A and B are shown apart, each in its own frame.
Chain A
Amino acid sequence: MQVGLVEQAQRGDAEAFDSLARLVGDRCLAIAVRILRDIDLAEDAVQAALITAWTELRALRDPSRFEPWLHRILTNACYAEAGRRKRWSEGLRILPGTSSDTPDDYLTVDDRDLLERALRRLTVQQRAVLVFHHYLGLSISEVAARTGLPVGTAKSRLHHATRALRASIEADSRATPHSQERLA
């Protein structure tokens, strides 16, 4: 179905593209919000990515690869939005704590607070590889394709991101007795 819609949209069918966007939009938002840690920026990134996808759609040679191709565009849109956030940091809105659609019982409120702060210490590029790997469950080569990185670079970026996150969690847990109790 998706391939058919892509082919129709490539012929300029705006209705088909609208249907296609609605098929993939939720997942795009989920990726963007996890990379950017900001719902408004994530919505802006998804909007920008979908518009770019429309204008560039005829360049997509394999319609079955639409979603990976879109995710690559989305990743760039997230980087652009993150750049804007840096410039307008005073307007930063944090990810709402109530945004979780499926909260994991494994995580406590303190865990979430600690992890959110740790994730925010990472670069947006590091968060991108983490999200594609942990959220979409992609292999390193697939992560590389969606982030536009050579495989080796994606692998090392994931390694460094995970290591930085672990270190950040451990530092936070050492600095916060309450967290230390939970994590000990």
Chain B
Amino acid sequence: MTASRDPDRLIHAYIQEGAEHLQDRVYDAVRAEVDRKRQRVVIGPWRTPIMNRITAAGLGVAAVVVALVVGIQLLGPPAPGGTGAFPSAEPSATPTPSPSVASPSASPAAPPALTETFTSERYGFSILYPAGWVTRPATEPWTSGIPDFGKNDGDVIYHPTLQGDLWIMVASQPQGGKGEDQWVDDLLTELISEDFCDTPLEDVTIDGARGRECASSGAAVSAGDRGYLILPYVSGDDPAVGVTYDRAWFEEVLATVQLQPEDALDVAPSASP
């Protein structure tokens, strides 16, 4: 093979070729779905609420300052010569009520107690969850990607009314010959790339199994030759929800997880890239 028929050049040249125009009907189909589907917010249950607390506190302080300034101006003595900013202010004028500074963080509702038990027949674990929440066991094995509320490859426990806005998902799979650390690292790499996981990561132990926990959400641990993913989700649409179901609550849930990898239904090794 001569340099002029260099296989690398052939490969490169051939990969440049191919269709490069997406048909309008595809855009139309996407648009129809977009009009029908609601956007989902994937935000760690503690990052946004923490931000909201700070923001709410800041806004509260600002509101008080504004209220004080306005109140002083309204109630204060008129400027000499009666040419003040509010010449028409009557002695009977009542102070402007200051805006409410109550914030969702001021009195967060206590999260419900974890009184119910879900035992996974597919993935080999049990977990406690609040009364009234709905369980939806996986109907398909988790073999690739990240299990999600909209998919059927994770055991999902969700809030009865908030549904896709507040849930916990657990799934497990054989490690497919990977070492414990490698499986956890690979999964976290994928979680991070999919924006499900904020760094820095922290070591975590769940029911004696070692793994890593994201700063924002989710934990991956390895038990024997089986890897587990526990992924909570709280929508940022309603900050009050995130205040109630905060990181401390998730840690409480994590502490109830019991892993029984020997009870899991084995599936083919992960096909994840």
Contact = CB atoms under 8 A, between A and B. Distances in A.
A90 interface: no
Nearest to A169: B7
A91 interface: no
B22 A107 contact: no
A17 B16 contact: no
Interface string B223-255: 000000000000010000000000000000000
A170 B1 contact: yes
A182 interface: yes
Interface of A: 10, 12, 14, 17-18, 21-22, 25-30, 33-34, 39, 42-43, 46-47, 50-51, 54-61, 69, 72, 76, 79, 95-96, 99-104, 106-107, 111-112, 115-116, 119, 125, 128, 130-131, 134-135, 145, 147-150, 162, 165-166, 169-170, 173, 182-184
B34 A169 contact: no
A135 B19 CA distance: 12
A106 B16 CA distance: 12
B33 A56 contact: no
B30 A51 contact: yes
A55 B7 contact: no
A150 B35 CA distance: 36
Contacts of A10: 39
A30 to B, nearest CB: 4
B15 interface: yes
Contact of A107 (B8, B10, B194): B10
Contact of B19 (A18, A99, A106, A115): A99
Interface stretch (B79-87, B130-138, B185-193): B185-193
Given A26-B20, A39-B19, A99-B18, A162 B39 contact: no
Contact of B12 (A18, A96, A112, A134): A134
A166 B9 CA distance: 11
User: Which are the 8 A-B pairs with shortest beta-carbon distances?
Assistant: A59-B42, A25-B22, A29-B22, A100-B17, A115-B14, A134-B15, A104-B13, A30-B20
A69 B42 CA distance: 14
A84 B26 CA distance: 19
Nearest to B9: A106
Given A47-B30, A169-B10, A28 B22 contact: yes
